[in-house]
Amino acid sequence: MYEKHWKLKKLPFENTPDTEFFFESEKHEEAFSRLSYVISEKKSCAVLTGAYGTGKTLVLKALEREFQKKGYVFSFVNNPRLDDLGLLKMILHNFTGYDVPARKEDVLMGMEKLLRDTNHDGKHVVVVVDEAQLIDEVSVFEELRLLLNFQTETRFLLTLVLSGQPELKGKLDSNKQFSQRIVLSYNLAALDFEETKKYISHRLNIAGLDGKILDDAALDLIYERSGGIPRWINNIANMSMLTAFSKGEKTIGPETVVEAIESSK
């Protein structure tokens, strides 16, 4: 759309989990590091929480990219609003890529075979459930907990990572059997002002920008209006660039940011 205007190779502020744009703020690096520990040490379960738009999914995708290079096998569930059997079938389907059995006992036998075969091959299985705050049925959490019973005498055959908005923590805290299986929890907070400036600069640089297009007052306003939430930073910065492009401007000031915010309401 406006790539040619600033000679960019790609759009810098798309709200998609493109790992090329992964920004290692202190908070995101801490989340990545802690979850990496749980996966690499083949622990049972980790939980990542954070407000909507803080970048949880991008952290998870960065982990998936990094560990797949090392031979880890992932099943990534994006929408867990399923019953217990439905979620088990989705997890198994993501591993195998083909139709799964209809009966629960057959799904579990298929899961056990996959886990033991993967372990025999010297690899490790990771199940990631994103948006896990959407799980309402206790039976679904119970099935996820029971997956952790697949283990050898020395280690778990599966690592489970749950990610969701802050209300997920309350659901897990009320489920004592499940919460006892959680090795590590981390809450991903919003970016501060300095991190917000670096985040914007990072994404523009990855997109191919040579130079600076947002003045200091514009950056101040983007932080103020976004609260340091990456999703809202992306929305405001994208609309600001679109507004500047439509007016033929190469530099973005606070007036353009205000106009972009008003036009997107």
**Across-strand partners of 75?**
127
pLDDT value of residue 1: 81
CB 243 within 8 A of CB 260: yes
CA 96 to centroid of chain Cα atoms:
22
User: Could you give the residue range(s) of every CATH 1.10.8.60 domain in the chain?
Assistant: 192-263
Which pLDDT does position 111 carry in this prediction?
94
Looking at 1.10.287.1080, 3.40.50.620, 3.10.620.30, 3.40.50.300, the CATH number of the domain 26-188 comes to 3.40.50.300
Backbone angles phi, psi at 236, to 5 degrees: -70, -45
- DSSP assignment letter at 19: G
* Helix, strand, coil % in the chain, rounded to nearest 5: 55, 15, 35
Distance CA 33, CA 39 (A): 10
159, 40 contact by CB (below 8 A): no
Residue intervals of the chain classified under CATH 3.40.50.300 are 26-188
Cβ atoms of residues 119 and 111 within 8 Å: no
The CATH topology of domain 192-263 is Helicase, Ruva Protein; domain 3 (1.10.8)
Contact residues for 190 (Cβ-Cβ < 8 A; gap 6+) = 51, 54, 227, 228, 229
Contact 132, 78 (CB under 8 A): no
- Do 215 and 208 contact (CB within 8 A), yes or no? no
Contact predicate 204/240, CB 8 Å? no
Q: CA–CA separation, 238 vs 260, rounded Å?
A: 9
* Angle between helix 254-263 and 216-226 (nearest 10): 30
Return d(Cα 21, Cα 31) in angstroms, integer: 16
pLDDT score of 99: 84
Which of the residues in the chain have pLDDT under 50? none
pLDDT score of 97? 83
CB distance 37 to 175 below 8 Å: no
Q: What digits encode the pLDDT tens for the residues 208-238?
A: 998 899 999 999 999 999 999 999 999 999 9
Nearest to 214 by CA among 250, 187, 247: 250
pLDDT digits (tens, 9 = 90+) for 83-122: 999 999 999 999 988 889 999 999 999 999 999 999 999 9
From the list 146, 78, 154, 68, the residue with the least C-alpha distance to 107 is 146
Is 121:70 a contact under the CB 8 Å cutoff? no
pLDDT at 232: 97
Cα angle, residue 238 at apex, residues 52 and 193 outer, rounded to 5°: 60
Q: At what angle do helices 56-68 and 26-40 cross, to 10 degrees?
A: 40
- Name the pTM for this structure: 0.93
H-state helical runs in 69-103:
84-96
How many whole angstroms from its chain centre is CA 5?
31
